[in-house]
Structure 1
Amino acid sequence: MERKYSANNLPMEGGGHRGWYQPHGLPHFDTPEIVQFVTFRLADSLPAWVEDRRETSVEMRRRVESKLDEGMGTCWLANADIALLVEGALLAFHMQRYRLWSWCIMPNHVHCLFNLKDGWRLADVVKSWKSYTAARANRILGRQGVFWQADYFDRYMRSEDQMALTIDDIERNPVKAGLCTHCTEWRWSSARRKLGGGSSDPASNFITE
């Protein structure tokens, strides 16, 4: 069926994948099979002035990534119980709702690279990760209130080279942030959970120690 879009680039009547849409401040691209790089973060991980939406998404993303690596906010994801909870949520529906290629759980944000399976929408997958983990993380912490920041960044891969570079960027994030000296030392990422060599699919090398 032909997709029809309104003047503000939102899908018209009908379900399924949305293509380009902008429900809040950030634009998103929702389509099956395309590999997506997604970043979502804790609610207090950035000061409000960092997210000036008058800037382009590229400029804002670079500034956001730099600020996130400074480890601002409560950094609840540094709690091993909460990091394990988030990691479990990411892995739970691998090869069912999406194919997960790479991920890294930092103290105040999460990076993941995946492509959706047909029938699953980007916003719904990210919402399921965040809603499930927020409720349980708040119980672990003995608190109430907002856990994750409402929106998220996504960028789709245009080539295999870009995808390879993105996997490297994701898995080297703890090194870049000064949290370890080698990416395999970081407990909460796909780098440490991959078996040695042989497979062209990083997701097939996940281990569950």
Structure 2
Amino acid sequence: MMHSHLPHTDIVGYYQFITFRTFDSTDSFLQKLFMEEKENSKKQLTADLHLDESQQGAYLHGEVLSYLNDFIINKNQELYQLVAFCIMPNHVHLLIKTLMPLATMMNIFKGISAKEINNIMNRKGTFWAQSYYDKAIRDQKHFDVVYNYIKNNPSKLIETNTTTPRFYGIYEE
């Protein structure tokens, strides 16, 4: 969920769709959106579409993209069972099976990766937004929809200067 006061679905062994973003990717449009009385899944879809088009907080490219790509793959079986991910310029989507409580996994993931990304960027301070969105996968149809969303999300980008893929999926190896 995007607000820290909303409950997360936190059952070890469940497949989860997780979205998290850079600390300054939120602009006034998203701040207003999260204040609205809308269903969370509708808010998340609107937020994802906005983040896909926004350059706000777009740090996930070049050496940072390469590091994060390797980090996500290297943490497979340690923090989660990885199914798929995509790295957009200002946010990340994961489809995983949890191996530990989600809050613990996200704290470890964000903490380690933020420290290294800050080193790469020669900066200090917060890198990831505190909140994240999570959605437990309900069934095979939901799993397929999420997998395909993650797979197709990077195709919205027009990039000419990257050799690091923005998508990884176990069914694409």
Considering the TM-score relative to the shorter chain, is it more than 0.5? Answer: yes
CA distance in structure 2 between the aligned counterparts of 1:179 and 1:51, rounded to whole angstroms: 28
Correspondence 1:70 to 2:48: no
Q: Relative to 1, partners in 2 of residues 1:23 and 1:39: Cα closer, same or farther, differing over 3 Å?
A: closer
Give me the TM-score of the superposition, normalised by structure 2.
0.85
Q: Which runs of 5+ in 2 are unaligned?
A: none
User: In structure 2, what is the equivalent of residue 40 of structure 1?
Assistant: 20
CA distance in structure 2 between the aligned counterparts of 1:134 and 1:124, rounded to whole angstroms: 15
* SS of equivalent residue, structure 1 residue 77: coil
User: In structure 2, what is the equivalent of residue 151 of structure 1?
Assistant: 131
Give me the TM-score of the superposition, normalised by structure 1.
0.72
Greater RCO between the two (CA within 8 Å, min separation 6)? 2
Equivalence map 1:1-209=2 (5 Å)? 24-47=4-27, 48-52=31-35, 54-78=37-61, 80-117=62-99, 120-175=100-155, 177-179=156-158, 187-191=165-169, 202=170, 206=173
User: Is the CA contact 1:77–1:105 (under 8 Å) kept in the aligned structure 2?
Assistant: yes
Q: Residue 111 of structure 1 aligns to which amino acid in structure 2? A: H
CA distance in structure 1 between the aligned counterparts of 2:111 and 2:79, rounded to whole angstroms: 16
Paired residues in the alignment total 167
Q: Relative to 1, partners in 2 of residues 1:137 and 1:36: Cα closer, same or farther, differing over 3 Å?
A: same
Sequence identity (%): 25
Q: Relative to 1, partners in 2 of residues 1:90 and 1:108: Cα closer, same or farther, differing over 3 Å?
A: same
Higher helix fraction (1 or 2): 2
CA distance in structure 2 between the aligned counterparts of 1:161 and 1:110, rounded to whole angstroms: 22
Compute the displacement of 1:108 (Å).
0.3
Compute the displacement of 1:22 (Å).
10
User: Is the CA contact 1:52–1:60 (under 8 Å) kept in the aligned structure 2?
Assistant: no
Q: Which runs of 5+ in 1 are unaligned?
A: 1-20, 192-201
Compute the displacement of 1:38 (Å).
0.3
User: In structure 2, what is the equivalent of residue 17 of structure 1?
Assistant: none
Superposition RMSD in Å = 2.4
* SS of equivalent residue, structure 1 residue 99: strand
Of the two, which has the highest radius of gyration?
1
Compute the displacement of 1:124 (Å).
1.0
* SS of equivalent residue, structure 2 residue 53: coil
